[in-house]
Amino acid sequence: MPRGKSKRRPHFKDNLPNDPQVKRWSEWLPANRGFHESFRNWLKESSYGEVAINLYSVVSRQALGFLDKPYWQIDPEADLQKVWEHLQTRPISADTKVEYHKGLVKLGEYLRLRCHLPPKLKKVDWEFYLGVLPAWLAEGVRMYIAHRHRAWKPER
């Protein structure tokens, strides 16, 4: 007996999005549908809670529907920044926007993993860490870190 539309999992229903610039689920490429489902599974396997999975899933649906291109052509930096700028124009609460931003960061991380792209490099705010030190000591700390950096794993 076929399951009715109301019995399907909520993130795979073909609802009409509130945002006219976001394509509905049925208009997506089949590869993007599979990518979205694997993103949710990756979050589950990473021990994320149901609330986080649902929020990140919502923002990933909005991102994939808004960008409207195959997931392997999405640039994790530039394209997800466009999505974030678009979400800023939507009537969404500030708390939800914070969670959506976290979801976009996770989506970018998963895109890099899935498309075999190098992970995003973390930028060190030297002024924050070394701003109160005298110049000679700050330079010494930088030189020491550069010397020790060669033995560190890339993810550190």
Read off the pLDDT of each residue in 140-147 and give the average, rounded to a whole number: 87
The helix, strand and coil proportions of the chain, stated in percent and rounded to the nearest 5, come to: 65, 0, 35
Q: Hey, which CATH number is domain 7-114, 1.20.1530, 1.25.40, 1.10.150, 2.60.40? A: 1.10.150
pLDDT higher than 70, residue 4: no
The Cα 108–Cα 5 span in angstroms is: 30
pTM of this prediction exceeds 0.75: no
DSSP 51: H
DSSP 66: H
Read off the pLDDT of each residue in 25-41 and give the average, rounded to a whole number: 87
Instruction: Spell out the residues 6+ positions from residue 69 whose beta carbon is closer than 8 angstroms to its own.
Output: none
The Cα 119–Cα 114 span in angstroms is: 11
pLDDT higher than 50, residue 1: no
pLDDT higher than 80, residue 117: yes
Whats the size of the chain, residue-wise? 156
pLDDT higher than 60, residue 32: yes
Domains in the chain: boundaries:
7-114, 121-156
> 40 or 25: whose pLDDT is higher?
40
The Cα 86–Cα 122 span in angstroms is: 25
